[in-house]
Structures are given as C-alpha cells and as structure tokens.
Amino acid sequence: MRKSPFEAVKVERPSEAVLLVTLDRPAAANAMNTRMGEELLEIFGNLAVQPEDCRAVVVTGAGDRAFCAGADLKERRGMSDAHWQAQHLVFERMIRALIDCPVPVIAAVNGAAYAGGCEIALGCDFIYAARGTRFALTEVTIGIMPGAGGTQNLPRAVGERRAKEIILTGRPFSAEEALQWGMVNQLCGPGRVAAEAIETARAIAANAPVSVRQAKRAIHHGLGLSLADAMVLEIEAYNRTVPTEDRREGILAFNEKRKPVFKGR
C-alpha cells in the first residue's frame, strides 16, 4: 500500500490484518469523483497482486449521512461523451478490481448508498447496513443505466424480478427491505455499522488466509458454472489448501487444544 495519503479515500488499520477503507468526501455525500475511482482501483488492484497485505477489508463512508451518493454529477457537468466514457472506464476497472479482490470485503453502509454507491456496496462480498439507511439505483432517472455491476450483482442478490423493479423504477428502498430481500446481511444500530463490520472482519482474519481466499474464489466463480463444473473448481481450490503450513498448524492446534496461529502459507 502506498505511503503517501490518498485524497478521496482514507485507509486505516483497525488491527494488523484488517484494512478499513473510508470513502472520504463527506461534503459531497462521499460522491465518487475520478480521483476516488482511481484510488479505489489502486487499493484493490494492489490487493490482487499482494493479497497477503491484509486478511479482510471493510469499506465505509465518512460521516453518518451517506455511504456514497454515486458518481459526482457536478464533476460530470458539461463533460464530452469521450471524457464521460474515459472516466467511466476508471469506474469499470475499479468495480472489477473490487469484485475480483481475493481478500474478503465487507461493505459497512452507514448512510445513503445511491447509484454507484449502491453498486460499490453490491460489489463487496456482503453488506452490513445501519438501520434506516436508504439504497437506490437511480441511473434510469437521469438518462443512463447502472454500469458498475448493478444489473448483474443486484439480481444475484435479490432475484431477477425484484432487481428489475428496483432498477427500472429507480425508486429508493430501505435497509430493512434490503435485509428481507437478501441483499443485506445484518442491520446495525446508530453509529455501530463500521464497528460491527470490523468485528466480523477480525473473525475472518483469524482464520487461515489461504483457506479463506480459496473458499471465496470457489463460491464466487462456482455460481457461474454448472454444479458438476463447480464441484471440480471446489476440489481444485481445496487441494491448494492441503500442502500449506496453515493446514498442518490447524490440525496440530486442534489436537493440542489451543488456538491456531496461521501465517498465510
């Protein structure tokens, strides 16, 4: 991870193995400008080649008003078609890097998550949300459509028919509805969402890193395969855990009735 500070995001380590990434433009409801897209791409691109840098990631927004209001439309005002598409390419690469991140990523949605902000949350492995939070994919109301995974990740979370209703109307929905539909994993009290997501991230980080990364890979990619092909993928992933030091440490610790000390190798 870079040593110099980012401009549009803040990166912290609440513990050695957990990375906390905060979308940090509170005056703009944490709306995503080009710089934020570039910085998120750098963070998750680096984790793709250095997954040992941490064992779990939490993504949240600065303040308590918004997780992310989507793309910064003030920055986009007057953009040429070519400039718009060039900027969106940054966002496309960013969301793919987030989705493909080998390390588990938890969204801690602390406020409104609209448009691209909702897509960032959906790109994470699962979502914790503050009670009363609102989500929306509003792109069709301004003449575009979701273009950062929304039309793909949302139906995988809530089903095709519900996703069509959400995307084609552009209407907001609550965290409570998102929980009921299977998009959100857990609702949190006021000011608690980041802390509870970090607690879960620490629980993940305490497990064997290679095992966690391979299990995530098998789940994510297996869903796009037939059951037979997915079972083959699962065994390939499983077999990568067998020759690891962590597998031997895990069995030894179990038999010695102590907590294992995993090293990620």
Over range 56-61, report the average pLDDT. 98
Q: Within a 10 A sphere around the Cβ of 256, how many other Cβ atoms?
A: 9
Active-site residue set: 119, 139
Encode pLDDT of 180-220 as tens digits.
Answer: 999 999 999 989 999 999 999 999 999 999 999 999 999 99
pLDDT band per the 50, 70, 90 thresholds, residue 31: very high
Our count of domains for the chain comes to 2
- Say whether both 112 and 58 belong to one domain: yes
Instruction: Over range 127-151, report the average pLDDT.
Output: 96
Provide the phi-psi class of 159: left if phi over 0, else alpha when psi is between -120 and 50, else beta: left
Q: Is the dihedral of CA 73, 114, 132, 36 positive or negative?
A: negative
| Cut 0.85: pTM above it | yes
> Residue 237, Cα to own-chain centre: how many angstroms?
22
Q: Can you tell me the mean pLDDT for 18-32?
A: 96
Look at residue 33 and tell me whether its pLDDT is greater than 70.
yes
Q: How far is CA 37 from each of CA 15, 117, 196, 222, 262, rounded to the nearest angstrom?
A: 25, 11, 26, 28, 33
224 in the same domain as 165 = no
| Conformational region of residue 60, where left means phi above 0, alpha means psi within -120 to 50, and beta covers everything else | beta
**Do 177 and 113 belong together in one domain?**
yes
Tell me what the mean pLDDT of segment 46-73 comes to.
94
pLDDT per residue over 63-87, tens digit each? 989 999 998 888 888 889 999 899 9
Same domain, 138 and 227: no
83 plus 149 within the same structural domain: yes
The CATH number of residue 245's host domain is 1.10.12.10
> Which residue segment(s) compose the domain that 226 sits in?
209-255
In a domain, 109, yes or no: yes
**Does 76 fall in a domain?**
yes
What strands, in cross-sheet order, belong to the sheet with 9-15? 9-15, 18-23, 56-61, 105-109, 126-130, 186-188
